[in-house]
Amino acid sequence: MQSKKLNVLVLGYGAREHALAWKIAQSPRVNRIFVAPGNAGTAEIGTNVPISDEDVPGLVAFASQNKIDLTVVGTNDPLAFGVVDAFQAAGLAIFGPQQAAARLESSKAFAKGFMQRHNIPTPAFATFHDYNEALAYLDSLPNGRLVVKVSGLGKMGLGVTVCDTKAQAQAALHTYMVEKLLGEAAAQTIIIEERLSGPELSMFALSDGKTAVPLFPVRDHKRIFDGDTGPNTGGMGAFAPVPDLPANFVAEVMDSIIQPTIEGMAAEGNPYVGVLFAGLMLTECGVQVLEFNCRFGNPETLVLMSLLESDLVEAMRACIEGRLTPAHVQIRSGAAAAVMMASPSYPAESFPTGLPISGTEIARALPGVNLFHHGTSCENGRLVTSRGRVLAVTATAHSLPCALKRAYRGVDQTHFAGAQFRRDIGGGVVQLQKPPILGWYEPSVGLGTAV
């Protein structure tokens, strides 16, 4: 018997949601796709709905009225506001963790305490609600190699200050707790953490609350300028596979971090359903968790979706229905890279918008190249910029150097005034003499032969 085709709603506006909608559209199970609020790219795949991804009652009403069978949460704020709980209360299927489980991202104090309770490797830390107590603690420390973080969601890394000296840490405490730069709520709870060093990595796994199945690690580039310099951004590019990882990396991270997290959340009565994104640092004393996110990464998702072979809709439904198996996640061989193009002066607070964009059709026609929109809109039939990050040229190929070359060919064809992009995505990887190591993929996720 032919099963019913599904109407799917994606919540969010960026390149991540464009990539999710693009992958969802490939599922033979899908009837219609809606994106709230979406962008000019998602409008080509489905129907944009002019409801903010933070308007939880508005989204529940829309999903009920339009017989939405599956809602996929792209962004983190709705999770923190309890969008999953609200949809479930209305009898609507939704992919993402409930509010209590989403504290893994929305409360760093919760996440750090959780990791401590469950022996999940994370930098040593202390939590403070009082400014003077935090200052006194700083005084007692041997040096200022510390990181000061607000516990709540901090936009674009603004809630994290990496310090070399105690004076910098004192200044950060003053900014967050006394000047309340990020607001009253963010001033209430602060974490002072040991500063570690090493390469960073984004690891993703799906979970149905009991079983976790790995996707794969992706590396993103957070700084605006080449050589990892300049201010932090939402992410200027991403790639996979990551060549500098040992062959058993995924299995080890599953054993020491992902599985204990899923088991610990279930044991504490907050089963975690959705995608778990662990921000990792590869340190001299092993892999450490810098943060958890309860959503897909942006731009990492462009790479994840480009290399995911299996049906995303089926995998998400399996998560929601508590029947996830490794067979739901099949990864293609080869590599993918995404290069983000951003507005002039991004990530400064103000930047021009409404700049005409050209060449996207030429770029998209290149071999292996795809375009995911982040901040675009359509004005009088013309594609224009609408946010700091604008669009990401993404490419797949048999090898990482080739995927990077293809992505940059696409960037060459895509134009808007003053476009900024990094020229070193994949940093140094393209100069490798040897082909990238693909052996870290788990054989259980059905990888083809690496070429």
Q: Which residues of this chain interact with ligand AMP, rule CB under 6 A?
A: 123, 147, 149, 157, 160, 162, 193-196, 200, 279, 290-291
When CB distances are held under 5 to 8 angstroms depending on the partner's kind, the choice from ligand GLY, ligand AMP, none that residue 300 binds is ligand GLY
Q: In this structure, which long-range contacts are made by residues 155-159, counting pairs with CB atoms below 8 Å and at least 24 apart in sequence?
A: 155/182, 156/232, 156/233, 156/234, 156/347, 157/222, 157/232, 158/182, 159/186
Task: Give the contact letters, 219-238, x = binds to ligand GLY (CB under 6 A), - = no.
Answer: -x--------------x---
When CB distances are held under 5 to 8 angstroms depending on the partner's kind, the choice from ligand AMP, ligand GLY, none that residue 396 binds is none
DSSP 3-state assignment of 229? Answer: strand
Would you say 77 or 300 has its CB closer to ligand GLY?
A: 300
Would you say 34 or 204 has its CB closer to ligand AMP?
A: 204
When CB distances are held under 5 to 8 angstroms depending on the partner's kind, the choice from ligand AMP, ligand GLY, none that residue 157 binds is ligand AMP
Pairing label, strands 382-385, 376-379? antiparallel
Would you say 17 or 300 has its CB closer to ligand GLY?
A: 300
Under the criterion CB under 6 A, does residue 426 sit at the interface with ligand GLY? no
Under the criterion CB under 6 A, does residue 27 sit at the interface with ligand GLY? no
The answer for residues whose C-beta is within 8 angstroms of residue 57's C-beta and 6 or more apart is 86
* Helical ranges in 100-198 per DSSP H: 103-106, 108-117, 131-140, 166-173, 184-188
When CB distances are held under 5 to 8 angstroms depending on the partner's kind, the choice from ligand GLY, ligand AMP, none that residue 406 binds is none
Decide if 204 contacts 215 (C-beta within 8 A). Answer: yes
Q: Rounded to whole angstroms, how far apart are CA atoms 62 and 355?
A: 32
Nearest to 249 by CA among 237, 261, 257: 257
Decide if 39 contacts 373 (C-beta within 8 A). Answer: yes
Minimum distance of ligand AMP from residue 375's CB (angstroms): 22
Interface with ligand GLY: number of residues (CB under 6 A)? 6
| Binders in 193-222 for ligand GLY, by CB under 6 A | 220
When CB distances are held under 5 to 8 angstroms depending on the partner's kind, the choice from ligand GLY, ligand AMP, none that residue 141 binds is none
> What DSSP character marks residue 388?
S
Would you say 200 or 263 has its CB closer to ligand GLY?
A: 200
When CB distances are held under 5 to 8 angstroms depending on the partner's kind, the choice from ligand AMP, ligand GLY, none that residue 105 binds is none
Minimum distance of ligand GLY from residue 74's CB (angstroms): 10
When CB distances are held under 5 to 8 angstroms depending on the partner's kind, the choice from ligand AMP, ligand GLY, none that residue 208 binds is none
Task: Give the contact letters, 289-318, x = binds to ligand GLY (CB under 6 A), - = no.
Answer: ----x---xx-x------------------
Pairing label, strands 47-48, 376-379? unpaired
> What DSSP character marks residue 136?
H
Q: Rounded to whole angstroms, how far apart are CA atoms 172 and 128?
A: 13
Would you say 8 or 238 has its CB closer to ligand AMP?
A: 238
The answer for residues whose C-beta is within 8 angstroms of residue 273's C-beta and 6 or more apart is 95, 96, 97, 98, 101, 207, 208, 209, 319, 320
Binding site for ligand GLY (CB under 6 A): 220, 235, 293, 297-298, 300
